[in-house]
Amino acid sequence: MYVIQNGTLVSAEKTWRADLAVEGGKITAIAPKIPISPGDQAVDASGCLVFPGFIDPHTHLDMDSGVTVTADDFLSGTLAALCGGTTTVIDFATQDRGMGLGQALDLWHKKAEGRSSCNYAFHMAITDWNENTRRELRDMVSAGVTSLKVYLAYDALRVDDGQLLDILGECQSLGLQIGCHCENGDVVNLLQKRELSKGNRGPTAHPLSRPPEAEAEAILKVQQATADAIKLINIAAPSEGVIKIKALEAFQKAADGRATKIIIPSELQSIAGLAAAAKTVFDTEDPKAIPAKTPPKP
Ligand SMILES: [Zn+2]
């Protein structure tokens, strides 16, 4: 038995001082003082907060985006997760063009099996919408997939407007939750070319090539497409932290969506912190790169 002693436990409801015992991977006791028996291992958590394992529902491990492969795979990514207290990751089993959904799910299981140090689960990302993909979607539900993602940007990943509408309808009928990477891909492509032609290959090119308008337009598009068809939409913010900083107007649009019948949880809470952190970083390089606005309160 492991006993974590003298820590301050944190739950969703409260924080309190207590010892916590773990046996066979399960919490077996929480009490003000848990006695240690021979063979038990005690950890002194004095002055520390003791959290439940965190869940990161948005990771891209060992993923080829068409232009690059993500830096972390399941080996390094899940070790890093555990070091930060995250005990479960939900990654995106991402279909390549020409690949079936079943193949994609198998591939992601292979990437993760025997290499993950923490728990994992998968959303699925659809990049090739056709009749075969539509048929396979039901099998994915049977395999335990409950959430999907589509991209409106990145040429190797994105779906067009008709496909988006079609996928939304299928998700509604199958009871799947869907997340959208909301950016106007054509606008981003154009602005990327402009920044590259100016020789701007540094980090400031990222937000400059992905203005809030490109995101706001895409959010509105999805909002429009789902207004009559979908009861619950989970619009994920773009995956890159930096773009979130520029996307204040876009997030305001998403927040406005809450006044309609569509429920659009967004990552608003994280934006304020990211904006503050990144503003500090970018201010040293180019003060104009990040708007000095306070993010709207969600
Ligand atoms: Zn993502």
Q: How far is the CA of 13 from the centre of ligand 1 (A)?
A: 29
68 CA → ligand 1 middle, Å: 14
Give residue 184 CA to ligand 1 midpoint distance, Å. 15
pLDDT, one tens digit for every residue, the chain (298 residues): 999 999 999 998 999 999 999 999 899 999 999 999 999 999 999 999 999 999 999 999 999 888 889 999 999 999 999 999 999 999 999 999 999 999 999 999 999 999 999 999 999 999 999 999 999 999 999 999 999 999 999 999 999 988 988 898 888 889 888 888 989 999 999 999 999 999 999 999 999 999 888 888 888 887 777 764 444 344 443 433 333 333 445 555 555 554 444 445 554 333 333 444 344 444 444 434 333 333 333 3
CB 140 within 8 A of CB 178: no
CA of 46 to the centre of ligand 1 (A): 37
Structure confidence at residue 216 (pLDDT): 84
List own/partner pairs for 138-145 with CB under 8 A and 24 or more apart: 138/174, 139/101, 139/102, 140/101, 140/102, 140/105, 141/174, 141/175, 141/176, 143/102, 143/105, 145/93, 145/105, 145/176
Q: How far, in Å, from the CA of 181 to the mean position of ligand 1? A: 7
d(CA 132, ligand 1 centre) in Å: 24
Cβ atoms of residues 62 and 96 within 8 Å = no
Cα(185) to centroid(ligand 1), Å: 15
Ligand 1: distance of its center to the CA of 58 in Å? 6
Residues with CB under 5 A from ligand 1 (ion): 239
The alpha-carbon radius of gyration of the chain (Å, integer) is: 22
Element (H, E) at 164: helix 161-174
Would you state the pLDDT for residue 159?
94
User: Which domains are delineated in the chain?
Assistant: 2-50 (2.30.40.10), 54-289 (3.20.20.140)
| Both structure tokens of 175 | 């009871």
CA of 135 to the centre of ligand 1 (A): 24
Distance 60 CA to ligand 1 centre (A): 6
How much distance in Å is there from the Cα of 131 to the middle of ligand 1?
25
Residue 85 DSSP SS3: coil
CA distances from 36 to 17, 31, 33 (A): 17, 13, 9
Q: In angstroms, rounded to a whole number, what is the distance separating the alpha carbons of residues 80 and 85?
A: 9
State CA 183 to chain mean position distance: 15
The residue with tokens 């003298």 is: 6
Residues 6+ apart with CB under 8 A from 213: 187, 249
- Two tokens, residue 100: 């079936």
Contact 177, 207 (CB under 8 A): no
Closest by CA to 276, choosing from 263, 294, 289, is 294
**Span from the CA of 248 to the centroid of ligand 1 (angstroms):** 18
Q: What is the pTM of this model?
A: 0.72
Ordered DSSP codes for 213-230 = HHHHHHHHHHHHHHTTT-
